[in-house]
Amino acid sequence: MPIGHTKLNDGRAIPNLAFGSGSVFRDKDVYNTVTAALDAGFRHVDTAQAYHNEDSVGKAIKDWIESDKDEKKRQIPRARCDLWITTKYSGGAAGPYEELKTSLQKLQLDYVDLYLIHHPMFVEGRVAQAWEEMERVKKDGLARSIGVSNFATSHIKELLKSAKVLPAVNQIRLHPYIYAENLETIETCAKHSIVVEAYGSLFPITQLPSGPVTAALEKPIKRLHATAAQILFLWVRAKHGVIVTTTGKKERLEEYLGIRKLGELKAEEVEAIDKAGQTSDAWIYHAVESKYQRFVHPVSTSRAFRRVLVFVLAITLLLVTAFWAYLAGGFSEMIHAYGVPLGIAYGLIALAVLRLIRLASSNQAEVLPFP
């Protein structure tokens, strides 16, 4: 099955396999990693402002293009048009338009092929304004295509109320354990010819290797002489998704690109994987997933205050109960029944207050688990 391309609603064609510079590579120099991916055969590179490595991504791209322009050595010299480069607006104060100009300087590019709003929280309360800037980005040629990331159906509907240009792509986390809950979003995207890009697709085998999905992969693995990772990528393609993945290992790069030599999954194999993902213990997988998936986004002081307030109220209830024990049985009875919980409660209250003070006095982004 050739990796090929998928046609977008703006007429352009996006490569179906992308190398991502996020995940474990956030805040790291990815020059060697991106170079290795390009050398291996990846032609789609996905990055973002929040990854804080656009500069090393750009240097790798520039050097890779310029490293072999000797036509005596190569029948087809490398060129910018051979690559598809994606970056994302991650909530910078200057707004999508100006932040992309900064990204282009770091990437050493005149344009990106795709520019996404990284998450709806970055444009909360100003979706129409932000998308208008995105449309201007496309009109001015800074990005050939524009889209969104991590948008659910409600976010897409809100955006479409004012959009003159449809998003070409919605990049979402997608694997069999969360396919059912993402189905509405996938169907909404299909209705508006918005292509779904899938990241995090290897979660079932990297974090839950003993889960039911792993067992469902066995038959197609044997039939196609493939690896578990390759079968999950074929599952994404069966859902008409564009694959976004990453690795720092050369052998993994070759493994992922190896899906070009494989056939497609049978309908019953896709159905079996879907069914395995709809486990009654889905909450366990979400709990594990939240441990590994982290997202950087700004947290407003008011939202933080509400969360801390709820927490303090819960602790207050504990304190009131302890005081009741004190009135009923005296100090010794209170300490006997509530000594340890009270000690923990006072400590947590102190931490919560310090956290609120830090958030109130800082405009920096906070790193939080994000589903």
What is the three-state SS of 259-300? HHHCCCCCHHHHHHHHHHHCCCCHHHHHHHHHHHCEEEECCC
Quote the pLDDT of residue 123. Answer: 95
Q: Which of 279, 294, 309 is the endpoint of a domain?
A: 294
Q: Are 305 and 289 in a shared domain?
A: no
Q: Are 164 and 282 in a shared domain?
A: yes
Closest CA to 183 of 152, 229, 205: 152
Q: With contact defined as beta carbons under 8 Å apart, do 113 and 144 qualify? A: yes
Rounded to whole angstroms, the Cα distance separating 205 from 228 reads 7
Give the list of residues 6+ apart from residue 306 with CB closer than 8 angstroms, or none: none
Rounded to whole angstroms, the Cα distance separating 172 from 117 reads 12
Rounded to whole angstroms, the Cα distance separating 158 from 170 reads 14
Tell me the CA end-to-end span of the chain in Å, nearest whole number.
32
Q: Are 253 and 178 in a shared domain?
A: yes
Q: Are 145 and 232 in a shared domain?
A: yes
Q: Are 330 and 243 in a shared domain?
A: no
Rounded to whole angstroms, the Cα distance separating 279 from 125 reads 36
Catalytic residue among 31, 44, 51, 285: 51
Tokens 């490569």 belong to which residue? 15
Q: Are 183 and 320 in a shared domain?
A: no
Q: Are 208 and 339 in a shared domain?
A: no
Q: Which of 264, 294, 324 is the endpoint of a domain?
A: 294
Q: Are 173 and 217 in a shared domain?
A: yes
Catalytic residue among 44, 118, 119, 175: 118
Q: Which of 240, 264, 294 is the endpoint of a domain?
A: 294
What H or E segment, with its residue span, contains residue 196? strand 195-199
Q: Are 86 and 9 in a shared domain?
A: yes
Quote the pLDDT of residue 208. Answer: 87
What H or E segment, with its residue span, contains residue 5? strand 5-7
- E strand spans, 112-176: 112-117, 143-149, 169-173
Q: Please state, as a whole number, how many other Cβ atoms lie within 10 Å of the Cβ of residue 253.
A: 22
Q: Are 50 and 132 in a shared domain?
A: yes
In the chain, % helix, strand, coil (3-state, to 5) comes to: 55, 15, 30
51 in active site: yes
Give the CATH number, domain containing residue 219.
3.20.20.100
Q: Are 290 and 347 in a shared domain?
A: no
Tens of pLDDT, residue by residue over 42-93, are 999 999 999 999 999 999 999 999 986 555 555 566 899 999 999 999 999 9
Q: Are 273 and 130 in a shared domain?
A: yes
* Number of domains observed in the structure of the chain: 2
Question: What residues in the chain have per-residue pLDDT under 50?
Answer: 291-303, 359, 361-371
Rounded to whole angstroms, the Cα distance separating 285 from 371 reads 11
Tokens 């090929």 belong to which residue? 4
Residue type, 249: K
Domain that holds residue 84: 5-294
